Amino acid sequence: MFRERRPLFPLFPLKSIQSSIAFAFSVLILLTIAATSLFAYRLSVNAVERNSKGYIQEVINQVNTNIQSYVDNMENISLLAMTNKDVKYYISSNSFIGNEGRRPYEKRISDLFQSILYTRKDIASIMVFGYNGRFVSDRRITTLNPNAKVEEQAWYVNAQREGGKSVISEPHVQNIIQNEYRWVVSLSRELKNSDGMTADGIFLVDLNLSVINDLLSQINLGKKGYVFIVDGSGNIVYHPEQQLIYSNLRSEQIAEVVRAGSGTTFKVEDEEGKRFYSVKDTSFGWKIVGVAYAEDLIGYKSTLINFLFITLGGVAVSLVISVLLSRRLSRPIRNLQRNMRKVEKGNFDVQAEVTQMNEIGQLARTFNMMVGQIKNLMQEIFDTHENKRKSELQLLQAQINPHFLYNTLDSIVWMAETKKHEEVVEMTSALAKLFRAGITKEQELVPIRIELEHITNYLLIQKMRYSSKLDYRLEISDSILGCKTLKILLQPFVENAIYHGIRNMPGSGTIVIRGMETQDGIVFEVEDDGLGMTEEQLEKIWEAPDGEWKNGGIGIRNVNERIRLYFGQAYGISIRSELAEGTCVTIRIPKIEGSGGMG
Amino acid sequence: MRIQRFTVGMGLLVAATALFLVFYFQLYRGGSANEPRIAVMLKSTNVRSDFWQTVREGAVAGVKGSGARLEVMGSLQDTDAAAQVRLLEDVLLRKPEALVVAPIEDAGVRKVLARIREAGIKLVVMDMPTDPDLDAVTLSSNYAEAGREAGEIAVAETAGAPRVAVLSDYESSSVSAERVKGIREAIDANENSFVGTFYSENDEDRAYVLATNLLSSEPDMNAIIALSEPAALGAAKAVEEAGKQNVVKLIAFDSSLYEIKLMEEGSLSAMIVQRPFNMGYLGVRTALKLIDRKPVPRMTYIDSIVVTRDNMYSPENQKLLFPFR
């Protein structure tokens, strides 16, 4: 988890929170918009596809209706011919009409056909071929193409095969009339005798293919869309690019179309583009197919364009909003940052403004608290320092207590007058050592051995002054001699013991100084068997405002404070005293080995 | 953990950007059609010329849906080189993106075409054998191959002993020269099979005279290959008059209603028919590809179809022989 990882490239190279937030917002917005766009795009595509399918269906239904009407018309004409008596007589196998008598029949039939032809521009020709070798057409004089055998024509053969039912041919070139080669769709049917059983001939109506061609070529299914027709077995009846299909330059989905049912639509997507095929079956076996290209469909593209503009606009607006929002969000943070900079420069009086109760507001409050605490701590440190300095000064004063000095010098003078040379030497050297111990050492902590030496010198001087009135004993265990202690720690207590405990008592007094190791550290005891104190006196000592015991000595309280400053609250002084019994001062300090130190 | 989240974030951002780019380009691809113009120069704009009218239909079919605009033009007569030069000069002024041209064989036409190409108009040449001088993208029937097919039919029809006369149009025509080359390739394996090439200059009467003379001077001649419609009609008339329909097989190039009738009668054994629709269609398609700077082959052959009496009314051949309009 805490393995150091460095990104391959700075993935998030933005330094300020504002830009990070802006970036995050932008990503979010872009994603949302992209997702919505995709969704809406899909929806619109589906809608367009649905619409286009409906549109093609409608178009081919229309085509179907039109073609159907042509076919119906041909059918009606054939019915007309079928029921016409003249036609029946004329082609009847057992006809009594002789060769001479057939002219009026021919004329009447021809007139009938002609009148039909006048009303129908879509019909190319109407003909009847009798099995008796006679034939009539819509024109008076008809020369048949001698090289085209009527009996071999597909429409003739098919009509014979169907035996009375009408047959629609594929579009073909009608070549049975000499010098005429017209593209037509033929409807043919076998004509029955009046008995309804024997066949007498074939009736033929030709529909001009141009009618269908015009119809289909007028249909607009977009720029590339088109309509084509196949027959039931998949042969192309009509296709705008039939020639290309025959020469394999173009392919058509014939197989799919043949498989598709009437009224269905299927989608084809290949290198030619996405397109929809709608198939409609006619009643006479053809399949009309409408093809529309997706890209052609109106609305498809314009929808997309609108869509893109809206999307781009949305992105632009949301980017601006995200920048503004991120600025607004990061403003309190920037304010806080400014305040922190002031603190950096040392101004601890700064208070951040707490305007909102959100995370940043809480942060500002915590910051304020922190700054306050730092300020207090600094004050405390400052005070502690001050106190230390004061106590050191007092220590120095204690050391060079002028009364003590005068008294000692008086004693030396007195001893010199009484010519006690040895004592003078002894006392003077002790005094010198006493002062050297206090002044020369810079460090606060000294080995107990040195402190012991110091107190010994002090006691030596006092003993010389008070001679038999003062007795003392030093009981310091050897194990602690190397340990460190505060310097001149014991002297104030010894001094107090002498001046307040022993000096004013009637008999002689003894001071015992003990030093021993305990579980928690080192304990010194300064015990005298002097006057002792009442409880009130004891309390007063602690309460002494400037910490003085009496006559300018160093205060107990100050010493206690000094110990605690150095070693902590667990250490210090306790006093036990009883009137007329004596006083015992206990000093606790930690055990600090000689070489080590508190620094 | 932190970095992974950022990676995911960056990935999503990239994905979103990609999505938008796709949208953008799809739109632009559809919308950037600036309607290129394609000029199509036919050899003849005569409405009676089925061949060139079908080429025009093919061109119209080829341009459909591409967004390009088509301008079809041509001289009335397919021999009027001066008119074609004039029209080409006009094309040079109007500067369409591409020109699909069936050039009349003429030095003047060639010069203008060179200038048109220098002007940066994409050039597609149709209905002409490859011309090393012009060095343009060419679409044409494979004339030598068509000639070979005609020769092979002659060999088959004469039971392997052909004696063939060729009725050509002009001596200068490179198309005809190619066809003759093909015919010779097919029949030269047979001994004494080639009578010669005779030039009717697209004149039916002249062809008739040539054929009549040949029928009398070359009694063992059993096949005539006519390289043009007038030649075929003249030859057919001569053969009919000589009463040699069953002896002298006639093979013709291109089709017309008269030739179809001759074929129905049985006077014409076979027709070698080009596919003019495909020529127009592919010409325009090639031009569109050139405009889009897509690769195109230097030479595209359009196959020819052999039509005989038996298959002349098949659905495919009906479409070829009887252009519908």
Instruction: Give the mean pLDDT of B62-88.
Output: 87
Distances (CA, A) of B306 to A147, A183, B273, B317, B321: 20, 22, 6, 9, 11
Residues of chain A contacting B261 with CB distance shorter than 8 Å: 147, 179
Q: DSSP letters of B242-287?
A: HT-TTTSEEEEES--HHHHHHHHHTS--EEEE--HHHHHHHHHHHH
Contact (CB, 8 A) for A84 and A215: no
Strand-pairing partners, residue B122, are: B98
Who has greater pLDDT, A488 or B287? B287
The two structure tokens encoding residue B312? 């002349």
Regions of chain A short of the pLDDT cut 70: 1-15, 94-96, 296-305, 394-400, 437-442, 544-554, 595-599
Contact (CB, 8 A) for A237 and A205: no
Residues ≥6 apart with Cβ < 8 Å to A272: none
Q: DSSP letters of A327-351?
A: HHHHHHHHHHHHHHHHHHTT-TT--
d(CA A475, CA A527) in angstroms, rounded, equals: 11
Of A303, A221, A256, the C-alpha closest to A54 is A221
Of B177, B222, B212, B219, the C-alpha closest to B197 is B177
Of B71, B67, B132, B131, the C-alpha closest to B100 is B71
d(CA B83, nearest CA chain A) in Å: 31
Residues ≥6 apart with Cβ < 8 Å to B27: A301, A304, A305, A308
pLDDT in tens, A421-480: 888 898 888 888 887 766 655 677 888 888 888 888 888 888 888 878 888 999 998 888
Instruction: Give the mean pLDDT of B263-287.
Output: 90
Instruction: Give the residue carrying structure tokens 């949302």.
Output: A32
Task: Sort strands A182-192 and A199-208 into parallel, antiparallel or unpaired.
Answer: antiparallel
What domains sit in chain B, N to C, each tagged with a CATH number?
37-141+275-303 (3.40.50.2300), 143-253 (3.40.50.2300)
DSSP secondary structure letter of residue A268 = E
Write down the pLDDT at residue A599: 35
Q: DSSP letters of A127-180?
A: EEEETTS-EEESSSS--B-TTS-GGGSHHHHHHHHHTSS-EEPPSEEE-SBTT-
From the list B3, B19, B281, the residue facing A34 with the nearest CB is: B19
Of A556, A426, A427, A424, the C-alpha closest to A491 is A556
pLDDT in tens, A555-574: 777 788 888 888 888 898 89
d(CA B117, CA B281) in angstroms, rounded, equals: 21
Contact (CB, 8 A) for B224 and B214: yes
pLDDT in tens, B197-216: 999 888 899 999 999 999 99
Write down the pLDDT at residue B210: 92
Q: Which of B277, B279, B308 to mutate to test the interface with A (most CBs of A within 10 A)?
A: B277
Q: Please state whether the predicted TM-score (pTM) of the whole model is above 0.80.
A: no
Task: Report, in angstroms and rounded to the nearest whole number, the Rg of chain A calculated over CA atoms.
Answer: 66
| Burial class of B11 by CB neighbour count within 10 A (0 to 12, 13 to 18, 19+) | exposed
Write down the pLDDT at residue A442: 62
B151 CB neighbour count, 10 Å cutoff:
30
AA letter at B297: P
Write down the pLDDT at residue B7: 63
Residues of chain B contacting A308 with CB distance shorter than 8 Å: 23-24, 27
Residues ≥6 apart with Cβ < 8 Å to B60: B70, B72, B280
Quick check: B23 and A308 CB within 8 A? yes
Write down the pLDDT at residue B31: 43
- Mapping DSSP to helix (H, G, I), strand (E, B) and coil, where does residue A267 land? strand
Instruction: Give the residue carrying structure tokens 């030596």.
Output: A460
H-run or E-run covering A59: helix A17-83
Percent helix, strand and coil across chain A, each to the nearest 5: 50, 20, 30
DSSP secondary structure letter of residue A248 = T
- Mapping DSSP to helix (H, G, I), strand (E, B) and coil, where does residue B93 land? helix
Confidence band for B224, pLDDT divided at 50, 70 and 90: very high
d(CA A224, nearest CA chain B) in Å: 4
CA A440 to chain centre: 71
Contact (CB, 8 A) for B80 and B47: no
d(CA A125, CA A133) in angstroms, rounded, equals: 19
Lateral strand order in the sheet of A509-517: A470-476, A509-517, A522-528, A582-589, A572-578
- Mapping DSSP to helix (H, G, I), strand (E, B) and coil, where does residue A569 land? coil
Phi, psi of B105 (to 5 degrees): -75, 105
Quick check: A244 and B277 CB within 8 A? yes
- Mapping DSSP to helix (H, G, I), strand (E, B) and coil, where does residue B124 land? strand
Residues of chain A contacting B31 with CB distance shorter than 8 Å: 301, 305
The two structure tokens encoding residue B216? 């009398």
Quick check: A249 and B30 CB within 8 A? no
From the list A33, A34, A223, the residue facing B65 with the nearest CB is: A223
The two structure tokens encoding residue A29? 């917005």
d(CA A244, nearest CA chain B) in Å: 7
- Mapping DSSP to helix (H, G, I), strand (E, B) and coil, where does residue A99 land? coil
| Burial class of B315 by CB neighbour count within 10 A (0 to 12, 13 to 18, 19+) | middle
d(CA B177, CA A18) in angstroms, rounded, equals: 83
Residue B160, sorted as left (phi over 0), alpha (psi -120 to 50) or beta, turns out to be left
Residues of chain B contacting A27 with CB distance shorter than 8 Å: 9, 12-13, 16
Confidence band for B258, pLDDT divided at 50, 70 and 90: confident
Contact (CB, 8 A) for B257 and B229: no
pLDDT in tens, A280-311: 888 888 888 888 887 766 555 566 667 777 77
Quick check: A170 and B315 CB within 8 A? yes
Say if residue B225's pLDDT is above 90: yes
d(CA A122, CA B236) in angstroms, rounded, equals: 37
Give the orientation angle of helix A421-440 with respect to helix A359-399, to 10 degrees: 160
AA letter at A238: Y
d(CA A81, nearest CA chain B) in Å: 29
Quick check: A37 and B23 CB within 8 A? yes
d(CA A345, nearest CA chain B) in Å: 33
Quick check: A24 and B275 CB within 8 A? no
What domains sit in chain A, N to C, each tagged with a CATH number?
84-212 (3.30.450.20), 213-296 (3.30.450.20), 342-375 (no CATH), 400-589 (3.30.565.10)
From the list A210, A213, A241, the residue facing B61 with the nearest CB is: A241
Least CA distance to B64: which residue of chain A?
A224
H-run or E-run covering A543: helix A535-543
DSSP secondary structure letter of residue A52 = H
Strand-pairing partners, residue A203, are: A128, A189
Write down the pLDDT at residue B140: 86
Quick check: B65 and A224 CB within 8 A? yes
Quick check: B275 and A247 CB within 8 A? yes
d(CA B59, nearest CA chain A) in Å: 11
Quick check: B260 and A148 CB within 8 A? no
Instruction: Give the mean pLDDT of B30-46.
Output: 77
Write down the pLDDT at residue B26: 55
Residues of chain A contacting B266 with CB distance shorter than 8 Å: 147
- Mapping DSSP to helix (H, G, I), strand (E, B) and coil, where does residue A105 land? helix
Residues of chain A contacting B318 with CB distance shorter than 8 Å: 172-173
AA letter at A497: A
Phi, psi of A95 (to 5 degrees): -70, 140
Task: Sort strands A135-137 and A167-168 into parallel, antiparallel or unpaired.
Answer: unpaired
d(CA A488, CA A561) in angstroms, rounded, equals: 14
Residues ≥6 apart with Cβ < 8 Å to A421: none
Write down the pLDDT at residue A396: 64
Percent helix, strand and coil across chain B, each to the nearest 5: 50, 20, 35
d(CA A450, CA A456) in angstroms, rounded, equals: 10
DSSP H helix total and E strand total for chain B? 11, 12
Of B279, B280, B282, B275, the C-alpha closest to B321 is B275
- Mapping DSSP to helix (H, G, I), strand (E, B) and coil, where does residue A527 land? strand
Contact (CB, 8 A) for A484 and A517: no
Task: Report, in angstroms and rounded to the nearest whole number, the Rg of chain B calculated over CA atoms.
Answer: 25
Write down the pLDDT at residue A52: 75
Residues of chain B contacting A33 with CB distance shorter than 8 Å: 16
A446 CB neighbour count, 10 Å cutoff:
19
d(CA B58, CA B55) in angstroms, rounded, equals: 5
Residues of chain B contacting A24 with CB distance shorter than 8 Å: 9
d(CA A407, CA A387) in angstroms, rounded, equals: 30
Total beta-carbon pairs less than 8 A apart between chain A and chain B? 100
Tallying the residues shown for chain A, one arrives at 599
A320-334 b/e (C-beta count within 10 Å ≥ 16 → b): eebbeebeebbebbe
Q: What is the ipTM of this complex?
A: 0.79
